[in-house]
Chain A
Amino acid sequence: MVNRAGMAGLVIIFLTGAWLIAAPFALRFQPSGASWTGGTRMDLAVGGVLLVAAFAGFFVALAGRVRELYAHRPD
């Protein structure tokens, strides 16, 4: 239960990073064709870091869980 909640938290963090990348263009506070503002760059950077980190963390945790299942499988 706790592990599943942790995995769900990683997924939410991943989605938050994706939202941070898409928010300036979705909410149109970054005009299209214009140079990127400071806020847009910051959101894209933070969103990208969160996206990659959450993606990597999620699959590392998933791999660890799969290894545990293999280790405890009946012979």
Chain B
Amino acid sequence: MSSGPWSCGTAAGRYLSGLCVSALGLCAGGWLVLTPFAFGYRTRGRAAVTDFATGGGLVLIALLTLGCWSLGWRRRLRADGVLPARPSRRSRRSARRQARAERLVRATRTPELVAAPDPAQVLTDLRALLTPLLAGEDCTLVRPVPSPNGTSDATPAGQQAPPAPSASDAAQGAAAQCHGAAMAVPGVAVAGVAAADVAVVDVAVAEVAAGVPVMVPAPAPAPESAQAAEPHGESRQVQAPGHLRGTRSASFLAPAPPPAEPLLRGAELLMVGTGEEEAW
């Protein structure tokens, strides 16, 4: 009873009955309008007026009923999938917008594909663009540290500060023998950007092997008490952000030697890290 075809047939019979009755009413109304003329009693007054009025009204009502049943049956057929679904106004509008967007994307994408640059040329241009920026970054990465005599000193990467008498002359000598990018000087030791990591690692390895505590960080704003506690002429190194510290690199490269333990005493606490951590 509730099967699909049976239900569809019932709906068709329902709409058909409405359509048939509406059509019959339309024909009857037309006939009522024509009857006074057909039978020759249009001059009889009330009967003719009644037939005209009733026939005219019946035609209108029958037309409206016919339209309603036709529309209802059409919708039912679309809902059942017999007739193709007509896209709504909103879906048509959205389809137009999507097509327009696709056209725009296609129009903007085509010139890029035609004028695709050479990757090698792009890399060359990128290198030429970034090289001055990196050179400028080298200067900005230098963190001035007040020297023991109270003046702030900063040495750019790659330049060697004037040597000064200190207890870590051996370490300075080792640092000077290296690439020159990382310098351990009294007051300031600057690690360069380009080859600084390798240089610091080498220096640290040499220092740890020799047992010389040279990689002692100094506070950026050195407190008075700490300055007083520290001996003058002690070697310090300023670490630029992102640079590896020598002792940690050395710990990675070689087994931790026993002399590294005294480095962590008192104010000479060594904070090792990847550059985000502050050393004090």
Q: Taking beta carbons and an 8 Å cutoff, which residues of A are in contact with B?
A: 2-3, 5-7, 9-10, 12-13, 16-17, 19-20, 23-24, 27-29, 37-40, 42-43, 46, 49-50, 53-54, 56-58, 60-61, 63-65, 67-68, 70-71
Q: How far is the CB of B190 from chain A (nearest CB, A)?
A: 81
Q: Number of contacts between A and B (CB, 8 Å)?
A: 133
Q: How far is the CB of A66 from chain B (nearest CB, A)?
A: 10
B41 touches A39 (CB 8 A): yes
Residues of B within 8 A of A71 (CB): 1-2, 7, 10
B58-106 at interface with A (beta carbon < 8 Å)? 58, 61-62, 64-66, 68-69, 71-72, 75
B25 touches A16 (CB 8 A): yes
Interface size class of B (residues with CB under 8 A): 35 or more
A39 touches B21 (CB 8 A): no
Residue of B nearest to A71 (CB): B2
Classify the interface of chain B: helix, strand, loop or mixed.
helix
- Give bound CA distance, A36 to B44, whole Å: 14
Classify the interface of chain A: helix, strand, loop or mixed.
helix
A46 touches B61 (CB 8 A): no
B269 touches A (CB below 8 Å) = no
A29 touches B68 (CB 8 A): no
Residues of B within 8 A of A3 (CB): 68, 72
Residue of A nearest to B24 (CB): A53
B1-58 at interface with A (beta carbon < 8 Å)? 1-2, 7, 10-11, 13-15, 17-18, 20-22, 24-25, 28, 31-32, 35-36, 39, 41, 44-48, 50-51, 54, 57-58
Q: Taking beta carbons and an 8 Å cutoff, which residues of B are in contact with A?
A: 1-2, 7, 10-11, 13-15, 17-18, 20-22, 24-25, 28, 31-32, 35-36, 39, 41, 44-48, 50-51, 54, 57-58, 61-62, 64-66, 68-69, 71-72, 75
